[in-house]
Copies of this chain bind each other. A is one copy, B any other.
C-alpha cells in the first residue's frame, strides 16, 4: 500500500500535525468516582470534544486484533509503515532509546556488565551497579575504544548494568550481517556463549564483537564485579524508505523522550533534542512551524501514568493537553490528527491490544457523528475501526498531497 501512496504523491504547501498522546486509549474504571468511565471519558476536555464534533473520528488498530504493540510497531504504523513487515531489533531500539544516532551502515546491540570468575559468569548483572557508577565505566570504554579494524564504535550508558553499543561500518552492510547469537548464557555459573555467526555475512561482525569483548575485559580487569560484558540483540536498522522518500514530506519530530526521537530518526525525520513536556513541545512546534511540512508531536506521560495504574494522573495529563490544544489550533494546520500509538488502560498497568481513539480534522471531513473525544464516541465516527497504517494516507489525502489513482 505504501508503494501505491508513494506513486501518488504530489507537491503541496500544506501542513500536517500528528499529535501522539502515548498510550491514549483506556478502559472503564472498576470502582471509585470514575467507575464505568475511561480516562478520556472522565477527563474534562472541552477543546478536544468540540474538535471531535467537527472531525472524522474512529479508532485505529496498530498490528491486529488482540495484538498488544510495543512502542516500535505502534509508531511505525502511525508513520504508515506496516509493523508486521518492518521489525525493529532489540539492539536498535535500545540504542535509539538511549539517544544514539543509528545509520544504515550500523549494527546496534544491548550490553550488560557482568561478573566473571574462573571463566564462568557468576553474576549476569555485575551486582546491579548504581547508574552513576556504570556510567563512568561506560565513559571509560568510550574513551579507550573508538575504532576496531576500521569500524567505529560508539557507547551509550544505560540504567544500572546496561549500556548500548553501535558499530558503524564504512559501507552499507550485506544481508544478515547482524545474524549473531547473544553471548548471555541466561543462567549463572555458566561460561558466556561463544559468538557463532548465523550467516557468512556475520563473520566480520563476530570478529569485531570478539575484539570488543577482549578490549573491554582488558579495561575492566581491575573491577571487582563489572569485569566482563555480555552482548545481546545484535540488529540492524530495518530497511525502510525515509519519510521524505515515501511521502515527500519534510518532517520534524518533537519528543522529549529519546526513544521517540530515535524512532523518528530511523525514517529520517529531523529529531532535535527537546526538553520539557506538553507546553515546551508546543512552543517548539510554534517556533519551527514554517520550516517543515509534517510535525510529529509526542507526549509521553499519558502512557507513563497508565503504566503506573494512575487513572487520575493519566486523566489529568489528557486535561493538560486539552488546555494546550488551542495553541496548536491557532496554527491552522491543513490536517490535524490526535491519537495514541496504542492503548494503555490504567486498570491494566500496561500496553494493551485495544484499538486507539483518533480524530482527524481537515476541511474535508463529514463530522457530526461523535459528540466528544472518547473511545465510545469514536466508535460512532466516520473512520470506523481502521488499520493504523491507514492514517498517513488519510492525512496525505486531506492535505491535498495525493493525486488520483488511475484515470
Contacts and interface: CB of A to CB of B under 8 A. Distances in A.
B1 A404 contact: no
B376 A369 contact: yes
A351 B66 contact: no
Interface stretch (A207-215, A276-284, A317-325, A386-394): A386-394
A50 interface: no
Interface in A367-407: 367-369, 375-376, 379-382, 384-387, 390, 392-398, 402-407
A228 to B, nearest CB: 25
A64 B1 contact: yes
Interface string A16-48: 000000000001101000001010000000000
B63 A394 contact: no
A316 interface: no
B369 A70 contact: no
A202 interface: no
A331 interface: no
A246 interface: no
A405 B65 CA distance: 12
A135 to B, nearest CB: 23
Given A73-B405, A351-B404, A369-B379, A4 B364 contact: no
Given A38-B366, A70-B405, A397 B353 contact: yes
B66 A390 contact: yes
Nearest to A384: B385
A366 B69 contact: no
A406 B402 CA distance: 31
A151 interface: no
Contacts of A390: 64-66
A93 B404 CA distance: 15
A371 to B, nearest CB: 13
A88 B406 contact: yes
A33 B87 CA distance: 52
The interface centre, meaning the residue of A64, A65, A83, A353 with most chain B CB atoms within 10 A of its CB, is A65
Contact of A407 (B8, B67, B90, B366): B90
Given A64-B1, A66-B5, A73 B406 contact: yes
A72 interface: yes
Question: Which 8 A-B residue pairings sit nearest by Cβ, starting from the closest?
Answer: A66-B393, A65-B390, A66-B397, A70-B406, A73-B406, A353-B397, A70-B407, A66-B394
Interface of A: 1, 4-5, 8, 27-28, 30, 36, 38, 63-73, 83-84, 87-88, 90, 93, 345, 347-348, 350-354, 363-369, 375-376, 379-382, 384-387, 390, 392-398, 402-407
28 contacts: A1-B64, A4-B67, A27-B365, A28-B367, A63-B405, A64-B393, A65-B393, A65-B397, A66-B390, A66-B394, A66-B396, A66-B397, A66-B398, A67-B393, A68-B397, A71-B406, A72-B407, A83-B405, A83-B406, A347-B364, A350-B404, A352-B397, A353-B394, A353-B402, A366-B375, A379-B382, A379-B384, A384-B385
Given A71-B407, A83-B405, A379-B381, 6 more contacts: A5-B67, A28-B367, A63-B406, A66-B397, A66-B398, A90-B407
